[in-house]
Amino acid sequence: MHNINYIRDNPVEFDNFMKSRGENSISQKIIDIDKEKREAQTALQNLLADRNQLSKTIGKLKSEKKEATNEMAQVDDLKNKINALKELETLKNDELNAILSRLPNIPDSSTPIGANEEENVFYRDWGEKPSFDFDPKQHFEIGENANLMNFETATKLSGSRFVILKGNLSKLERAIANFMIEKHTSINGYVEMHVPYLVKANTLYGTGQLPKFADDLFTAGDDHWLIPTAEIPLTALHSNEILNINQLPMRVTSYTPCFRSEAGAAGKDTRGMLRQHQFTKVELVSLVEPEHSKDELERMLSCAEGILKDLNLHYRVMTLCTGDMGFNANKTYDIEVWLPGENKYREISSCSNCGDFQARRMNTRYKKDDKNTHIHTLNGSGLAVGRTLIAILENYQTADGNVKIPDVLKKYFDNSDTLF
């Protein structure tokens, strides 16, 4: 949610930021509605003061056994006016929130301006693309040939964009997640959390998924929604709370299934595991003081990169431009892993600084020097487990259709060298 004082003071700048995020100029409409709301509030306060004064007068007249009919009629008249102003204030507040809740975050000054992913900016890379003396296969060819990846039965059970993993592929997914959680908790300083997979609408509102992105979510009814990422419950752990300064920085992680309708992805990546309605991910979330959020983003990015380095998987990091960045973020790095079977880079993690955007929606603050200030929130994948499995299958495949096991994962397979 945006700071209305900032919009009032910087309308042109705000409109320019929104234009860079693909939105139309909106500041004047916001300012006009806010003015009507504040005028209603002022008039309401004045009428309430008048009513209080009249009530005192009536009390005095009655104590003196004097007539107060005229004053009581005035109170009745004020009551009607007060109720009308309360309704107007509520109406204008709802109008204002309806607009503000659908506007994306203001980009950081270091975020490149651009219209789409073609204008994202290279940040850095690591490792080398593997070379093969055969034509590398895509992950689904490897998995299906081993009879350990089944899309047909999954479609029979649940429809498109689902998969069943069997045997050592199922074990590989579990091993990847265990490795990630162990690294993030024992070395990177995150505290593991087991969180609900169902959350209420107000939780999704606080983290920015609702109301704008309802079509991308699955609802379970009774005001419950399936989480599209563990970012939601982790970030909202302290909604409507005031934290102590000694609780920050707060770094938490969770391994969960994620559920997305992929409403905007019709026809994209229909083959294989790249884009699923259900997938697993290890999420990283940080709550920090505002002055530390930029450094925390770099730290989070390094933690996510460290997993790929340990797995010896080549990747690049891209700084997303304003037109490709997510709704909540003011700056985002995408880590893209190399997939030789597909012969292209694919996103495996997004690490984002959301500033105080989510904290304002959630009303999460911290106390410092007797002042309550909104915290800054950050989130990132550390990593997407299914896409990490895909990357291992394609980068570690052998000519005979087998897959070598990365050294750091061999302990989960009794030190075997190959997967099949």
Among 106, 117, 108, 107, CA closest to 320: 117
Strand ranges inside 44-203, DSSP E: 121-126, 149-150, 164-165, 191-192, 198-199
**Residue 187: strand, helix, or coil:** coil
Q: Which residues are catalytic?
A: 260, 275, 347, 350, 387
**Residue 252: strand, helix, or coil:** strand
The number of angstroms, rounded, from the C-alpha of 362 to the middle of its chain's C-alpha atoms is: 13
CA distance 387 to 317: 16
**Residue 179: strand, helix, or coil:** helix
Do residues 136 and 397 touch, judged by C-beta distance below 8 A?
Answer: yes
Among 252, 265, 260, CA closest to 194: 252
Write down how long the chain is: 420
> b vs e for 82-118, b when ≥16 Cβ sit within 10 Å of the residue's Cβ?
beebeebbeebeebbeeebeebbbbbbeebbebeeee
Query: Tokens 């919009």 appear where?
Result: 7
Question: Residue 45, class by beta-carbon neighbours within 10 Å (0-12 exposed, 13-18 middle, 19+ buried)?
Answer: exposed
Count of other CB atoms within 10 angstroms of residue 249: 17
Residue 30 parent element (H or E)? helix 27-63
376 bridge partner residues: 288
Among 418, 389, 413, CA closest to 402: 418
**Which alpha helices (DSSP H) does 64-150 contain, by range?**
69-100, 139-145
**Residue 189: strand, helix, or coil:** coil
Backbone φ and ψ of 219, nearest 5°: -100, 145
Do residues 330 and 147 touch, judged by C-beta distance below 8 A?
Answer: no
Query: Tokens 């997004």 appear where?
Result: 350
**Residue 382: strand, helix, or coil:** strand
